[in-house]
């Protein structure tokens, strides 16, 4: 009966097995791909087919071709991809409360911060997989449009792809981390998902559309909120203007810093809450 | 040698509600210690504090002499308040995940599955398991680190009689292998069957610690009419502190050679002696006496 050592690497391995084999995550990924392809490619393409050349969305065929694929894909991250990322974060952390499996895991002896750190690491990997898959799907769709419309397949530079992917990844990870904090704060799944979606899909829009035009302080407040900064960042990285949630309110460097600050803030808040509260 | 479990003045309060108060608990190496109390007495809260899941309001906890911190649970396996696993994973994968969390080798998974006799169904999804199988998987998870101390919280809860007997036999076997076991239960018979020593908790307080063997000297059961007069007579004979009353009977802490004398005294006093015999070890009566009859309907 020798004392066992636990560390972050073995806990990440445990977490990877758990999350990799969870069907709900793959369903979320499929929904994200479906929504991205539908709203970024299928609907604009159908519109393109039904209207005179160049009229669709004021963007024309060029918006569906490979040079624009990065912007098309990450345009969803401030809104619906972000919503799916919140659900992903809530499921990763909150299901442990629903299944009461925290006690089973923690009774094995790892420290709370090690377990949560492993969860966050896997969360970051998960959002990387999400962004990578969306970019691959977007690239394939744009190539298909190019072939169908007999257009040249000019791809963006590697640096442009990496920059766009990095921005989208940062935003998606920030939303997923919000999901983790909500799950830990409310110790479950249903309420955190509900609150996360209400904030992301309703409150942010109401603030932007209803409150900000009327109240200067709300307009100023928006500049520090995660959603508008996410919208600003993807706008700077090529997301099509006019897409819901995409609006260049702040400069890209500021938007990046604000989103990174939220990401770190959510992670620290989640760790602080998880460390100090009882596992009932 | 340090005790596997030692708490001093352990207390947990939720606002004004005291869940556990001033608990001094010592579990000795190699024993099966029954932590007995009705539902809501504070058993699970105590065990959760031992495992660091709940922070005590005050008091100290030591497991093998170590205070909560890194490697505090290295020699401890636990099953708390029923099994809880990932329903979409197989039993084997669940244990593999937990082995990684524990820092235990993956080879240990097959070993513990064999110990709890679950190897045949290890590939099935946990969500498809019967309650008995889930409990056995819980026990397997508790054994992943090959622990010197097992903390088991009502491990037979919800099982049918065959399942209960199965789990109890497994626990006894594990104890016979040299492990210390701290077992909480509200089932008196279970504690009496499995345990060497018993701690009784009521309303968050430890009201007694005694060995199960000591219960064999539980004494004489007397039913006589009228009971108050009988109590007065026998109290005068053996001392009032050795006479307790529960229900319609008196229980006397006395020796066999006193039986004829007590009988003669009661008959001589004109009391109707309906029953007088040495009673079997009776944890229930002791428990009810010590807790002032605060056991709930599950205490049987």
Give DSSP secondary structure letters for B195-221.
-SEEEEEETTEEEEEEETGGGGG--EE
Does B145 contact A109 at a Cβ distance shorter than 8 Å?
yes
Q: How far is B279 from chain A (nearest CA, A)?
A: 41
Q: For residues A155-169, b (16+ Cβ closer than 10 Å) or e, as one string? A: ebeeeeeebbbebbb
| Interatomic CA distance for residues A45 and A34, integer angstroms | 15
pLDDT at residue number A270: 98
The beta-carbon neighbor of A103 closest among B55, B80, B103 is B80
Amino acid A4: pLDDT: 43
Tell me the whole-structure pTM to 2 decimals. Answer: 0.85
The number of angstroms, rounded, from the C-alpha of A212 to the middle of its chain's C-alpha atoms is: 24
User: pLDDT in tens for each of the 300 residues of chain B?
Assistant: 689 999 999 999 999 999 999 999 999 999 999 999 888 899 999 999 999 999 999 999 999 999 998 889 999 999 998 899 999 999 999 999 999 999 888 889 999 999 999 999 999 999 999 999 999 999 999 999 999 999 999 998 878 888 888 889 989 988 998 999 999 988 888 888 889 999 989 889 998 888 887 665 557 888 999 999 999 999 998 888 888 887 788 888 887 788 888 999 999 999 999 988 877 656 666 777 666 665 443 333
Residue B294 distance to chain A (closest CA, Å): 25
Question: What's the pLDDT score for residue A108?
Answer: 94
From B50's Cα to the closest Cα of chain A, the distance in A is 10
Determine whether the interchain pair B88/A22 forms a contact, defined as Cβ–Cβ distance below 8 Å: yes
Whether the pLDDT of residue A53 is over 70: the answer is no
Write out pLDDT tens, residues A150-184: 888 899 999 999 999 999 999 999 999 999 999 99
Return the closest-CA partner of residue A175 out of A133, A233, A221, A136: A233
Supply the DSSP symbol for B127. Answer: G
Is residue A135 exposed (0-12), middle (13-18) or buried (19+ Cβ within 10 Å)?
buried
Q: Is the complex ipTM more than 0.90? A: no
Indicate yes or no: CB of B72 within 8 angstroms of CB of A3: no
pLDDT over threshold 60, residue A6: no
Distance separating alpha carbons of residues B76 and B61, to the nearest angstrom:
14
What residues in chain A have their Cβ under 8 A from chain B's Cβ atoms? 1, 3-7, 10-11, 13-14, 17-18, 21-23, 99-111, 115, 276, 278-280
Give the pLDDT confidence score for residue A49 in this predicted structure: 65
Chain B nearest C-alpha distance from A180 (Å) = 18
Strands of the sheet containing B180-185, edge to edge, are: B76-79, B149-153, B180-185, B32-36, B197-202, B205-211
The answer to whether residues B206 and B42 touch, using CB atoms and an 8 Å cutoff, is no
Q: Phi and psi at residue B61, in whole multiples of 5°?
A: -130, 135
Q: Decide if A279 and B71 are in contact by the 8 Å CB cutoff.
A: no
Q: Is the pLDDT of residue A35 over 80?
A: yes
Predicted confidence at residue B297, as pLDDT, reads 38
Closest alpha carbon within chain A to B148: A1
Q: What is the pLDDT of residue B179?
A: 94
What is the spatial distance between Cα A106 and Cα A108, in angstroms, rounded to a whole number? Answer: 5
Residues of B in contact with A108 (CB under 8 A): 73, 98, 101-102, 141, 144-145
The pLDDT, as a whole number, for residue A50 is 59
Confidence label for A55 from pLDDT (cuts 50, 70 and 90): very low
- What is the tens place of the pLDDT at every residue in A194-229? 999 999 999 988 998 899 889 999 999 999 999 999
Give me the pLDDT at residue B280, please.
63
């Amino acid at each position: 009966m020798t004392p066992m050592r636990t560390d972050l690497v073995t806990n990440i391995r445990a977490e990877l097995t758990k999350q990799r084999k969870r069907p709900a995550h793959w369903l979320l990924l499929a929904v994200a791909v479906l929504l991205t392809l539908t709203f970024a490619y299928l609907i604009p393409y159908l519109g393109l087919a039904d209207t005179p050349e160049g009229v669709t969305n004021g963007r024309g065929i060029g918006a569906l071709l490979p040079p624009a694929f990065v912007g098309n894909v990450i345009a969803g991250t401030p809104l619906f991809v972000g919503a799916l990322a919140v659900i992903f974060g809530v499921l990763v952390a909150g299901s442990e409360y629903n299944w009461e499996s925290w006690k089973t895991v923690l009774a094995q002896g790892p420290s709370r911060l090690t377990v949560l750190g492993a969860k966050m690491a896997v969360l970051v990997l998960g959002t990387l997989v999400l962004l990578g898959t969306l970019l691959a799907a977007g690239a394939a769709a744009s190539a298909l449009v190019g072939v169908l419309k007999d257009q040249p397949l000019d791809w963006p530079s590697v640096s442009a792809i990496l920059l766009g992917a990095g921005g989208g990844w940062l935003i998606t990870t920030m939303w997923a981390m919000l999901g983790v904090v909500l799950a830990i704060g409310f110790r479950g799944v249903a309420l955190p998902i509900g609150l996360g979606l209400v904030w992301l899909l309703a409150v942010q829009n109401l603030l932007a559309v209803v409150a900000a035009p009327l109240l200067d302080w709300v307009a100023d407040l928006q500049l520090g909120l995660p959603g508008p900064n996410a919208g600003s960042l993807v706008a700077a990285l090529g997301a099509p203007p006019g897409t819901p949630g995409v609006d260049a309110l702040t400069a890209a460097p500021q938007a990046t810093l604000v989103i990174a600050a939220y990401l770190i803030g959510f992670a620290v808040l989640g760790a602080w809450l998880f460390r100090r509260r009882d596992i009932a | 040698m340090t005790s596997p479990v030692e708490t001093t003045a352990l207390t947990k309060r939720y606002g004004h509600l005291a869940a556990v108060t001033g608990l001094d608990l010592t579990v000795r190496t190699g024993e099966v210690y029954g932590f007995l109390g009705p539902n809501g007495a504070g058993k699970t809260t105590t065990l959760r504090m031992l495992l660091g899941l709940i922070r005590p309001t005050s008091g100290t906890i030591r497991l093998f002499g170590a205070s909560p911190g890194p490697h505090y649970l290295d020699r401890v396996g636990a099953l708390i308040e029923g099994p809880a696993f990932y329903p979409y994973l197989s039993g084997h994968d669940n244990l593999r995940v937990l082995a990684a969390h524990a820092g235990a080798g993956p080879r240990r998974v097959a070993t513990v599955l064999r110990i709890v006799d679950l190897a045949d169904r290890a590939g099935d999804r946990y969500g498809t398991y019967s309650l008995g199988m889930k409990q056995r998987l819980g026990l397997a998870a508790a054994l992943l680190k090959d622990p010197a101390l097992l903390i088991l919280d009502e491990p037979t809860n919800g099982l049918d009689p065959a399942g209960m007997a199965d789990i109890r036999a497994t626990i006894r076997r594990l104890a016979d292998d040299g492990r210390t076991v701290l077992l909480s239960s509200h089932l008196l018979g279970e504690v009496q069957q499995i345990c060497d020593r018993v701690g009784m908790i009521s309303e968050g307080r430890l009201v007694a610690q005694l060995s199960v063997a000591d219960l064999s000297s539980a004494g004489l059961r007397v039913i006589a009419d009228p009971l108050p007069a009988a109590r007065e007579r026998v109290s005068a004979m053996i001392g009032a502190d050795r006479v307790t009353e529960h229900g319609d009977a008196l229980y006397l802490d006395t020796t066999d050679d006193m039986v004829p004398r007590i009988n003669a005294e009661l008959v001589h006093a004109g009391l109707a002696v309906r029953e007088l015999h040495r009673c079997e070890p009776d944890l229930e009566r002791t428990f009810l006496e010590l807790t002032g009859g605060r056991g709930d309907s599950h205490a049987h």
